[in-house]
Amino acid sequence: MKTLQDFLLSFPFKHVNPITPVGAELINYDSISSKPFDTGTSSDILVYLPYVNENRKRLSDDDVLQIMQLPQVVGVLIYYPRDLPIREQLKEIYELFKVPVVHLTYPLKETVLHEKASSNYRLIQDTHGTTIDELFQRSLSIRTAMAQPVTVMDQNFKSVTRPYEPEASSDWMQFLIQSRSKWLQLYYFHPERFVYEAGNQSTTLSCYPVYVQEEIRYFLITPKTDVEWYGRLLEYYALLLSLVSQQEEKVDELHLTFKSHFLHDLLYNNFKSEQALLEQAATWGWNLNEPNELVVIRVAAGENSQHLLHEGWRTELFDKLLKRFRQDHPTGMIEPFQNDIVLILRMGLSGRLKEYLQKVITRYMEDSEGIIIKAGIGKCYPKTKELNKSYQEAMMALKLGHEWSRENNVFHIEDLGVLRLLFYLNQDHLVEFSSSYLQPLIDSDQQHQTDYLETLKQWIIHDTSVQDTAEAMHFHPNTLRKRLQKVNNLLGVDIYNHEDFVNISIAVKIHTIDFFQTNVKNLS
């Protein structure tokens, strides 16, 4: 004996839209007929009708009403490839006769050809070109067919499906909202346990896990049911969710890889021509035709706060920053790249860019205690192909600006002054120049841990203000004066003399650039 439920489970899921409940009881039928008035009353029939017939006449609710009055009719299937206009009227008719009505968006005759390979064919049909969001919305059809709530929850036990209208303030929704914190606490790290213990909840549940890449990504839940065909329907729905989300994740991964390759090629000058670069950028939806400014944002934990930060803080902060920057600059190119965030913005912001970044960074640093956010800005080049230079300059500004700034978190390459120049000169000459001035201090620092170089550096950073420097280094101004006197004696110069100060200041800056080169000696 054939049943309506078996028929629905063999038909491509994406093309089945129950308008009324199908019911828990199996509905038997002998044949499917398109001419219900011509068949006898001895056998049960499923009526199959196109919404628009061969004579272009539309099916009306009166037609359906007449069909339902026939005693041999156990169900009605209506084919129409779009939304059915008489949906609400059909629901009212159902209340009178309790004969289920199902809207099919795919004609019946074509599926008969595939009957032998129906299960594979159905799976291919259901996964081909289907997005996960479309599938989430399909839960409403299941809910209608089963006449009970069906919800898809993510790993955080948050519903990802839109609730059925009358359900929005129902007991089921209240139950989900109230249980969420408890479930998070108990099952967040043990999602399998939630599946096993679904039957023990205050509202007993049937739970179907949706696995994606060997871990549970979604839970499909409904109030406990023992109806066999409901189980088969939900299992199939969970399988579809799993296949489609796996497929989407793979596509997303691929998309990310290609995007990161493009960014790498852009920031390291790997394009043969400017034209090739612009064309590829356009495929990603970025218009790089005009001169752009490039910013690198770096996020790091403060020296003493590493242990205070929770796992995943970086990803969380990155997401927040990316969201904010993308909101503020919808046409900009804002992407994570090699542990930093890279912003490529049209030149319009020029002049205000530093202020804007400083404002955003200060706001997020206030929100996230113990986290340091810094930004480096490169020069704006007329050609897009030169963005690689701008990127390197932004990185340099980040590195050196960080060493030589008092309070700022945003550094423009042009603010580095003589430091920028030093970066390009022959290292051996620079080191020789620096050592010729600072060697006595380097030796003293190494032998007696005197920290004279750091003192001198801070004094230069703080515009030779004794008060500010002492405050920054947490000691008394007199101690600083004494140290500076000692530095004078060791170097044999007068650092208060303008000419000596300029030379010493440059020597200290060189020393900072090449800090690592002079700090390592002991090979024993």
Partner 1 sequence: MEQYHFIIQADRCIECYSCSASCYQEHRSAQGDLPRRKIQHRTGDPNYPVYLSMSCNHCRNPVCVTICPNNNYTKRRDGIVVHDDTHCEGCKLCVEACPFDAPQLNPITGKVDKCHFCYERLSEGLAPVCVANCPTDALNYAKLSDIVAVSERYSGNDVPISRFTSPAIIIKKQTESKQHFL
The DSSP call for residue 186 is H
Q: How far is the CB of 376 from partner 1 (least distance, A)?
A: 11
Q: How far is CA 372 from the centre of its chain?
A: 22
Rounded-to-integer distance, Cα 405 and Cα 414, Å: 14
Q: How far is CA 445 from the centre of its chain?
A: 48
Q: How far is the CB of 270 from partner 1 (least distance, A)?
A: 5
Nearest CB to partner 1, comparing residues 114 and 389: 389
Closest CA to 376 of 392, 399, 394, 362: 394
Nearest CB to partner 1, comparing residues 112 and 425: 425
Nearest CB to partner 1, comparing residues 283 and 426: 426
Query: Rounded to the nearest 5°, which phi and psi values hold at 97?
Result: -110, -15
Q: How far is the CB of 504 from partner 1 (least distance, A)?
A: 21
Helix (H) or strand (E) holding 233: helix 228-267
Rounded-to-integer distance, Cα 409 and Cα 348, Å: 22
Q: How far is the CB of 166 from partner 1 (least distance, A)?
A: 51
Nearest CB to partner 1, comparing residues 176 and 422: 422
| Strands laid side by side in the 73-79 sheet | 16-18, 101-104, 73-79, 45-50, 31-33
Q: How far is the CB of 517 from partner 1 (least distance, A)?
A: 5
How are the residues of the chain apportioned to helix, strand and coil, as percentages rounded to the nearest 5?
A: 55, 15, 30
Residue 128, class by beta-carbon neighbours within 10 Å (0-12 exposed, 13-18 middle, 19+ buried)? exposed
Using CB under 8 A, list all residues that contact partner 1.
Answer: 260-261, 264-265, 268-270, 338-339, 385-386, 388-389, 392-393, 395-396, 399, 423-427, 513-514, 516-518, 520-524
Rounded-to-integer distance, Cα 78 and Cα 116, Å: 23
Rounded-to-integer distance, Cα 12 and Cα 106, Å: 8
Nearest CB to partner 1, comparing residues 169 and 519: 519
Q: How far is the CB of 273 from partner 1 (least distance, A)?
A: 12
Q: How far is the CB of 245 from partner 1 (least distance, A)?
A: 26
Query: Rounded to the nearest 5°, which phi and psi values hold at 195?
Result: -65, -45
Q: How far is the CB of 377 from partner 1 (least distance, A)?
A: 14
According to DSSP, the β-strands at 215-223 and 205-212 are antiparallel
Q: Which residue has the tokens 């000596």?
A: 500
Q: Are 46 and 32 in contact (CB under 8 A)?
A: yes
Rounded-to-integer distance, Cα 455 and Cα 161, Å: 61
Q: Are 51 and 175 in contact (CB under 8 A)?
A: no
Nearest CB to partner 1, comparing residues 125 and 392: 392
Amino acid of residue 283: T
Q: How far is the CB of 235 from partner 1 (least distance, A)?
A: 41
Helix (H) or strand (E) holding 425: none
Closest CA to 412 of 492, 466, 364, 349: 349
Q: How far is CA 164 from the centre of its chain?
A: 27
Q: How far is the CB of 280 from partner 1 (least distance, A)?
A: 14
Q: How far is the CB of 410 from partner 1 (least distance, A)?
A: 19
